[in-house]
């Protein structure tokens, strides 16, 4: 019996010309566009410089800041008030003011002052941009100190050399961090929305009544609904793997089998949630809006865009019941760190629990009337 039900589901999916195109086209579009567009690296910061010294050292400092690649020098103002006008008009994000006698104080006294003023309307851009600028100033000070030591031939000034080593993402490429999470988001949208619209679509078409008068059990009916979207989820994930490898050169550091194992469980989670919503909805519009509400909450509180550790304590407690959070952790740990199955037991038990909960709820909530 279940064989014919699964065949019916696949025929319904393939009969709709839009869905097969969406299954292939949407992952391609998302993988080619989103890693570049949804990039939270702060670059192209507009910089206004107030050089009150006009010395060799101040010119060298300005060149070092501009050559870092993070800042665009928009103007060199004659005073701080002029630079503030650039901030107010939106032409500048940060002001670097070099004090008078910058070179003289640096040579004679060993230190000199500069002032950083940031537009904090966009707190992230202002804070991170100021941190970038402070780091560049620190590197500049170390360069000057090293030159003086070599020139004087003395080693009386201690210098600490820091050699950073970035594990799992050595070039700090934000796309590498985003791509595994985007794969999860796409599978969530496919495996969640399509089942949510399935049963309620049959309700609107009137075909659900034909199923209700058959001797098919509720368990068999729900299982037949889940399997096609389970297959679709694997197709979407495989397309994403191919694009990540061919376009971005990103290969999983861990085992693909581990990812597929967790994927098989996670698809059951979101498909079960979609079927629960479909059981309680009377129209496709109602099911779509309810599913959209849950998807927005799950995605925003999953750690996809913002770290969960940066959330308030109450929000971190809520993420415990967010299945999307656990699968994003799995994808990033396997893809970037090469974590094995034994490192992911917490995520495994959590996803199994969610899968059982939502699918049992879907079976119970489906009302089969004769």
CATH code, domain carrying 56? 3.40.1710.10
Residues 308 and 234 in one domain: yes
Domain that holds residue 94: 45-152
Residues 33 and 56 in one domain: no
The count of domains in the chain is 2
Phi, psi at residue 243, to the nearest 5°? -70, -40
Residues 92 and 28 in one domain: no
Digit-by-digit pLDDT tens for the chain (370 residues) are: 677 778 877 887 788 788 888 888 888 888 888 888 766 677 788 899 999 988 888 899 999 998 988 898 988 888 888 888 888 888 888 999 998 888 888 888 777 888 888 888 877 778 888 888 888 888 888 888 777 766 665 555 554 455 667 778 877 778 888 899 889 988 888 888 888 887 888 777 777 777 777 777 888 888 888 888 888 889 889 999 999 999 998 899 999 999 999 999 999 999 999 989 988 988 888 888 999 999 999 998 998 877 888 788 999 999 999 999 999 999 999 988 899 999 999 999 999 999 999 999 988 988 765 4
Domain membership of residue 85 (yes or no) is: yes
Residues 118 and 229 in one domain: no
Please give the pLDDT value at position 354. 96
Instruction: Using alpha carbons, select from 339, 299, 104, 290 the residue that is nearest to residue 187.
Output: 299
* Residue 149 to residue 143: CA distance in whole angstroms: 10
* Residue 237 to residue 351: CA distance in whole angstroms: 18
Question: In the listed set 152, 181, 203, which residue is the last one of a domain according to the structure?
Answer: 152
Residues 26 and 107 in one domain: no
Residues 337 and 193 in one domain: yes
Residues 330 and 191 in one domain: yes
For the range 297-303, what are the long-range contacts, defined as Cβ-Cβ under 8 Å and sequence gap of 24 or more?
298/188, 298/322, 298/323, 298/324, 299/185, 299/188, 299/324, 301/325, 302/181, 302/184, 302/328, 303/181, 303/328, 303/329
Between the alpha carbon of residue 281 and those of residues 59, 196, 284, the distances in Å are 67, 9, 7
* Residue 259 to residue 341: CA distance in whole angstroms: 9
Domain membership of residue 295 (yes or no) is: yes
Domain membership of residue 50 (yes or no) is: yes
Residues 35 and 145 in one domain: no
Please give the pLDDT value at position 20. 83
Phi, psi at residue 144, to the nearest 5°? -65, -45
Domain membership of residue 244 (yes or no) is: yes
Strands 94-98 and 45-51: parallel
Domain membership of residue 212 (yes or no) is: yes
Question: In the listed set 125, 152, 179, which residue is the last one of a domain according to the structure?
Answer: 152
* Residue 97 to residue 126: CA distance in whole angstroms: 16
Question: In the listed set 118, 152, 186, which residue is the last one of a domain according to the structure?
Answer: 152
Domain membership of residue 81 (yes or no) is: yes
Residues 85 and 197 in one domain: no
User: In this structure, what DSSP letter does residue 302 have?
Assistant: T
Residues 8 and 146 in one domain: no
Which tokens sit at 240? 């994403």
Instruction: Using alpha carbons, select from 283, 282, 186 the residue that is nearest to residue 243.
Output: 186
Please give the pLDDT value at position 161. 56
Domain membership of residue 162 (yes or no) is: no
Domain membership of residue 64 (yes or no) is: yes
Tokens 């560049």, located at residue: 136
8 Å CB contact between 41 and 174: yes
Residues 148 and 30 in one domain: no
Residue 312, SS3 per DSSP:
coil
- Give the Cα-Cα-Cα angle 353, 359, 361 (nearest 5 degrees): 100
Which tokens sit at 193? 């929305």
Which tokens sit at 271? 């498909």
Ranges of beta strands (E only) in the chain are: 45-51, 71-77, 94-98, 114-118
Residues 73 and 210 in one domain: no
8 Å CB contact between 75 and 86: yes
Phi, psi at residue 183, to the nearest 5°? -60, -45
Please give the pLDDT value at position 155. 53
């Amino acid at each position: 019996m279940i064989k014919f039900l699964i065949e019916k589901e696949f025929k319904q999916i393939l009969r709709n010309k839009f869905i097969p195109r969406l299954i292939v086209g949407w992952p391609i579009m998302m993988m080619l566009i989103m890693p570049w567009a949804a990039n939270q690296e702060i670059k192209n910061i507009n910089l206004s410089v107030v050089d009150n010294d006009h010395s060799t050292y101040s010119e060298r400092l300005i060149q070092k800041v501009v050559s870092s690649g993070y800042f665009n020098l928009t103007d060199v103002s004659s005073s701080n008030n002029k630079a503030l006008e650039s901030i107010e008009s939106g032409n500048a994000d940060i002001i670097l003011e070099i004090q008078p006698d910058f070179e003289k104080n640096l040579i004679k006294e060993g230190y000199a002052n500069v002032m950083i003023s940031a537009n904090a309307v966009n707190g992230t851009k202002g804070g991170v941009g100021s941190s970038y600028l402070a780091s560049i100033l620190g590197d500049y000070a170390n360069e000057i100190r090293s030159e003086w030591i070599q020139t004087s031939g003395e080693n009386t000034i201690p210098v600490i050399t820091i050699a950073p080593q970035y594990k799992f993402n050595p070039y700090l490429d934000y796309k590498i961090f985003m791509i595994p999470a985007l794969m999860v988001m796409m599978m969530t949208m496919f495996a969640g929305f399509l089942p949510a619209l399935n049963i309620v679509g049959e309700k609107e078409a009137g075909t659900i009544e034909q199923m209700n008068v058959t001797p098919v059990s509720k368990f068999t009916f729900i299982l037949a609904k889940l399997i096609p979207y389970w297959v679709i989820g694997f197709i979407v994930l495989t397309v994403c793997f191919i694009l990540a490898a061919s376009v971005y050169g990103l290969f999983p550091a861990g085992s693909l089998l581990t990812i597929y194992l967790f994927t098989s469980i996670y698809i059951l989670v979101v498909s079960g949630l979609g079927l629960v919503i479909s059981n309680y909805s009377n129209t496709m519009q109602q099911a779509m809006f309810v599913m959209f509400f849950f998807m927005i909450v799950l995605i925003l509180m999953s750690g996809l865009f913002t770290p969960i550790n940066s959330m308030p304590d109450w929000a971190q407690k809520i993420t415990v019941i967010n299945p999307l959070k656990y699968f994003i952790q799995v994808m990033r740990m396997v893809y970037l760190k090469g974590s094995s199955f034994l490192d992911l037991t917490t995520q495994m038990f959590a996803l199994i629990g969610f899968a059982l909960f939502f699918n049992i709820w879907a079976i119970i909530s489906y009302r089969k009337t004769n």
